[in-house]
Structure 1
Amino acid sequence: MQTYDLICVGAGSGNMLFGPTLDGWRSAIVESSRFGGTCLNRGCIPSKMFVVAADAARSVSGSHRLGVHATLDRVDWPAIRDRVFGRIDPLHDRAVEYRRANGIDVYTESARFLTPKVLEVAGEKIGAERIVVAAGSRPVIPPIPGLESVPFHTSDTIMRVDEVPTSMIIVGGGFIAAEMGHVFGAFGADITLIERGPRLLAVEDEQISSRFTELARDRFDVRVDTAVTAVAPGPSGVAVTVERGGRVEVLESAALMVATGRRPNTDRLDVVAGGLEVDDHGHIVTDDAYRTSVPGVWAFGDDANHFQLKHMANAEARVVAHNVAHPDSPRQLRHDLVPHAVFGDPQIAGVGLTEAQARQDGIDHVVVVRDYADAAYGWALEDTTSFVKLIVDPRARTLLGAHIIGPSAAILIQPLLQGMMLGETVDRLAHQVLYIHPALTEVVEQALLEVS
């Protein structure tokens, strides 16, 4: 059996573990797919490259409100797709070569635990004093009758199709559905979104998700409170049977995408055989330092929590790298403030409590909502639907939550997030910080001034 000082299972954010502090260790990394993980190959990065192109296409049709009358000649999907993956695909081989050239053994087959701290990879046993599990997640495939009888896509495959389908049904109403609906809708597909709950992006603040659902209806056929009961081949591609309030209907589409969440890959690793405790969702149970139930084994990212956010996994990787090298002085990472963004149209960003959560938990709070239209740059955009929403503790004078829907939401949230993480009061953020006029950040300033 090959033995190591450190084995990392997963080369997404797990690939970040290997740095100067671990020089001199005998190390290995196991990755059965592609270096870079979900984010680089099937998630955040390619999807945002497509979103940028989709935003450009959408800006043409929306420019008439500014007095600019333009038309979109065509969308060259192969060129868009090949630009994205022509940049991404070569990175895997380079990463493997780099690690091997720097003395790290790379295994490119699937791994599974045989016993605590012992793995099997392609029939070979490998073990280590320290193991980090960061093998990521995969799409959930719901048990829809007939689904196995039709071709369908997930976020793993949809971005590599050869052409934009004329129509596409997306099962799900979360961030993947929102982003891919935006992309393919902008490129000419007729999109139908099917969500079993009452709103799209239901985990967002209710006012945000309601506005997003309302605007999505202007572009797409949005079916909320709707269950998919069966799927079958159809004349145009696929026939999807749905039910809402006892009414059954069959929807036809050229393509079908399933976007109903993701699940950790811990079952494929047989982590229970490795002595690792898992919760009801299959996540490995860890403490605040990412230590598992087996001493010397750590876990982070999608295998250890539900965040499914690359920026969180990267921060966790930095903490785990320190803790592996310095187990007697472990670091921790706060989980109370985890920002996120949805790069749909419109864009959404949020952090902290929603209004409903504050109400449900009995937390005293004040709500402020400020429209983009109140700021000069909002005038320039002719924006009538976007807003900033703040949830404020009236006694401590701190932000409990911040939620934004509209252009550049993921950027506008940052000063609010920094204020929250650094413990600043809304009064200091409003009165002791300068906001450039007439930049869009003035809408953030105005919201803060309203409550300060």
Structure 2
Amino acid sequence: MPHYDLVVLGAGSGNMLLDDELAPLRSAVVEPDRFGGTCLNRGCIPSKMFVVAADAAEDARAAARLGVHATVEHVDWKAVRDRVFHRIDPQHESALNYRRENGIDVYTEAARFVAPKVVRVGGERLTADIFVVAVGSRPVVPDIPGLDTVPFHTSDTIMRIDEVPASTVVIGGGFIAAEFGHVLGAFGSDITIVQRGPRLLMEEDEQVSARFTELASRRHRVLLDAVVTSVEGDADGVTVTVTCPSGDQVLRAAALLVSVGRRPNTDRLDAAAGGLDLDRHGHIVTDGAYRTSVPGVWALGDTANHFQLKHMANAEVRLVRHNLLHPEDVRTLPHKVAPHAVFTSPQIASVGLTEQDARRDHIDHVVSVRAYGDAAYGWALEDTTSFVKILADPVRRTILGAHIIGPQAATLVQPLIQAMELDLTLDRIARDVLYIHPALTEVVEQALLGL
């Protein structure tokens, strides 16, 4: 039974843990899939590479509003796909070999706990003084009659297809539906989105969610308050039966994308057999330092939290590494807020409280909304739909939340994230900082001044 100082389960964010500071430890990594995890292989990075290509196509088609009359003659899906994965796929073998060449044992079969701090990997049992569990998550496959009888895609597979389907039904209205609806639609697929709720991106601020739903409905067929009741295969693809407020509808499409959320992989790990406490969603319960219910076992990333954000997992890796190296100085994550972005069209970024959160929790707040078109660069863009929305505490004069829909949203929100983390007042960030004219950041400045 091999014994290690440290075993890391999962080579996504978990692989980042093993830097030079931990080199003296006898360590192992267990990863039955590809090094790099979801983000590198099936998530953030390849999807954004597709989004950039989709944005280029959409920008060309929309350029007539600027007096530039352009057409998109052809989108070479295979060329886009191969450009993406010819860069990404070699990273797995490179990372695996790098670990082995530097004295870290790598196991490429799945691990399952058989007892606290004991895992079975293939025919071996491994023990360790320290385990870090970072086994990630996977797409949820809903229990829809007939779904198991037809070919369908999730975010794990949709980017690897050989050609853009002539039509696609997308089940779900969250991040993945928004991003891949944009990508496939920009590349020529006729998109129908089936969403259970009354709007797309329901977790966003209501005003942002409503605006995005309005804009998406101009590009795609969007069915709201709709439930898929059955799926069948046919000669041309799939037939999807949907119950809507107006009655049942039958949708026919060449492809089906299921994007209704993700679940942690703790069931595949048999975390309960390892003595690890789980919450009702299957995430491993940790304290603020990412210690689990078993001493010497830590957990991070999608395994341990609901954020499903790579930048949060990166921060957790840095924290756990510090805590492993400095047990006398165990720290908790210092970040007050968890920002995110949706790389769809238009781009969306958010941090902190939404207005519906503030109302629900009876938090006193004031709101400022400023349209992109109110700033000079918004004029240049001929933008009529984008805006910046900021919520603030009227007593402390600090930002409670910020929500942006429009070009460069994920970049524009960054100074607001920093202001929230550093507890800066509106007065300081609105008046004590120069905003470049006529950059798009003036929209942020105007929203702040409006408060």
TM above 0.5, yes or no, is yes
What is the aligned length? 451
The reply to whether residue 266 of structure 1 matches residue 235 of structure 2 is no
Paired letter, 2:97:
E
Deviation at 1:335, TM superposition (A): 5.6
* Distance in 2 (alpha carbons) for counterparts of 1:12 and 1:419: 30
The reply to whether residue 257 of structure 1 matches residue 253 of structure 2 is no
* Distance in 2 (alpha carbons) for counterparts of 1:78 and 1:438: 39
* Distance in 2 (alpha carbons) for counterparts of 1:185 and 1:355: 31
Paired letter, 1:398:
T
| Partner residue, 1:404 | 404
* Distance in 2 (alpha carbons) for counterparts of 1:295 and 1:319: 17
| Partner residue, 1:310 | 310
Asked if the contact 2:335–2:421 (Cα under 8 Å) also holds between the matched residues in 1, the reply is no
The alignment partner of 1:328 has SS state of: helix
* Distance in 2 (alpha carbons) for counterparts of 1:230 and 1:334: 46
* Distance in 1 (alpha carbons) for counterparts of 2:16 and 2:23: 13
* Distance in 2 (alpha carbons) for counterparts of 1:109 and 1:327: 31
Paired letter, 2:173:
G
Paired letter, 1:2:
P
| Partner residue, 2:332 | 332
| Partner residue, 1:385 | 385
Equivalent runs, 1:210-359 vs 2, <5 Å? 210-245=210-245, 247-334=247-334, 336-359=336-359
| Partner residue, 1:368 | 368
Give CA deviations for 1:115-171 in whole Å, capped at 9, x if unaligned: 000110011111100000000000000000000111000000000000000000000
* Distance in 1 (alpha carbons) for counterparts of 2:129 and 2:38: 27
Return 5+ residue gaps in structure 2 as ranges: none
Paired letter, 1:3:
H
Deviation at 1:325, TM superposition (A): 2.0
Paired letter, 1:346:
P
The reply to whether residue 70 of structure 1 matches residue 70 of structure 2 is yes
| Partner residue, 1:143 | 143
| Partner residue, 1:120 | 120
Asked if the contact 2:368–2:389 (Cα under 8 Å) also holds between the matched residues in 1, the reply is yes
| Partner residue, 1:205 | 205
* Distance in 2 (alpha carbons) for counterparts of 1:279 and 1:445: 41
The alignment partner of 2:273 has SS state of: coil
| Partner residue, 2:21 | 21
The alignment partner of 1:131 has SS state of: strand
Paired letter, 1:159:
M
Deviation at 1:235, TM superposition (A): 4.2
| Partner residue, 2:111 | 111
The alignment partner of 1:286 has SS state of: coil
Paired letter, 1:124:
E
* Distance in 2 (alpha carbons) for counterparts of 1:450 and 1:245: 40
Deviation at 1:244, TM superposition (A): 1.2
Deviation at 1:321, TM superposition (A): 0.9
| Partner residue, 1:447 | 447
* Distance in 1 (alpha carbons) for counterparts of 2:401 and 2:381: 26
Give CA deviations for 1:168-210 in whole Å, capped at 9, x if unaligned: 0000000000000000000000000110000000000000000
Cα-Cα RMSD: 0.8
The reply to whether residue 436 of structure 1 matches residue 425 of structure 2 is no
The alignment partner of 2:114 has SS state of: strand
Deviation at 1:326, TM superposition (A): 1.8
* Distance in 1 (alpha carbons) for counterparts of 2:335 and 2:290: 12
TM norm structure 2: 0.99
* Distance in 2 (alpha carbons) for counterparts of 1:162 and 1:75: 13
* Distance in 2 (alpha carbons) for counterparts of 1:91 and 1:417: 31
* Distance in 1 (alpha carbons) for counterparts of 2:430 and 2:422: 15
Superposed structure 1 runs of 4+ greater than 2 Å apart: none
* Distance in 1 (alpha carbons) for counterparts of 2:92 and 2:233: 36
Give CA deviations for 1:63-96 in whole Å, capped at 9, x if unaligned: 0000111111100111000000000000000001
Deviation at 1:22, TM superposition (A): 1.0
Asked if the contact 2:110–2:122 (Cα under 8 Å) also holds between the matched residues in 1, the reply is yes
* Distance in 1 (alpha carbons) for counterparts of 2:342 and 2:23: 38
Return 5+ residue gaps in structure 1 as ranges: none
Give me the identity figure in percent.
68
* Distance in 1 (alpha carbons) for counterparts of 2:246 and 2:221: 19
Paired letter, 1:176:
I
Deviation at 1:327, TM superposition (A): 2.0
